[in-house]
Amino acid sequence: MDYRNRHGFHNWEYLRTQKPLKDPALSKAFVDFEDNAVGIISFPLPRFTCAKAYKARENIVAGFEKFYAEDGPATAFHMVQASSEVSDAHGLSINDKSRLDTCNGHAILANTTPTAFWTIYHVLSDEKVLEEVRAAVLSLVTVEQNNGKITRKINIAQIRDIPIMRSVLHEVLRHYNYGTGTRTVLEDTILDNQYLLKKDSFVFMPNRS
């Protein structure tokens, strides 16, 4: 399965909620953007030094601008609606929201969604792990009964504290995550008394060496 088809397999849920990326041209633009997203951050004058990825990113931004101009969030997934409302409350322009969605989309499609897929896959593929996870999760479920109707609730935030789930997640990240973490240095910092990281420079941390 090649890169594009693999992403297509993982992305169906997010694409359903983010209408701009249903456009085949913008779906292709996402692949071009992802291919050199690190270059856009690190190379000088990315408009020229990373022209293909830069143009792809701007095309995606334009797609989201059209989406917002046509009141797209009104018929979108509730997460998209809530995000748009928060952005509006803080005075973000359509361009700001579009650029934010472009970056968030990149993070979700390139990292979060594949990680979630492989985590679920490996839990369901191992009978012993599935049994442990199920027992741990069921202990977090609360049951309420009202007028004969039974409601089961779970605090999703508590799932991250389940040891077996943390173990599976960390193994998935170790085996499948090929990304590069990028951080901006906020102030001059010396590491191990010998490495100087200058303020406003970038630090790239590959998930695999």
Confidence (pLDDT) at 64:
92
Q: What is the mean pLDDT of residues 23-30?
A: 88
Confidence (pLDDT) at 49:
94
Rounded to an integer, what distance in angstroms lies between the CA atom of residue 196 and that of residue 180? 21
Residue 196 in this model has a pLDDT that exceeds 90: yes
Evaluated on CA atoms 69, 74, 75, 81, the torsion sign reads positive
Residue 10 in this model has a pLDDT that exceeds 80: no
Confidence (pLDDT) at 159:
84
Evaluated on CA atoms 49, 51, 56, 60, the torsion sign reads positive
pLDDT digits (tens, 9 = 90+) for 140-175: 999 998 888 999 998 888 888 889 989 998 888 888
Q: What percent of the chain has pLDDT over 90?
A: 42
Mean pLDDT of the chain: 84
Residue 189's DSSP bridge partners are 197
Tokens of 141: 């479920």
pLDDT digits (tens, 9 = 90+) for 56-107: 999 999 999 999 998 888 888 787 888 889 999 999 999 999 999 898 888 7
Rounded to an integer, what distance in angstroms lies between the CA atom of residue 191 and that of residue 199? 13
Q: Which amino acid is at 11?
A: N
Q: What is the mean pLDDT of residues 18-23?
A: 71
Show Cβ contacts of residue 182 under 8 Å, excluding neighbours closer than 6 positions. Answer: 38, 41, 202, 203, 204, 205
Label residue 137 exposed, middle or buried (CB < 10 Å: 0-12, 13-18, 19+): middle
DSSP class of residue 19 equals: G
- The full set of domain ranges for the chain reads 1-115, 126-177, 180-209
Helices 3-17, 113-125: axis angle to 10 degrees equals 100
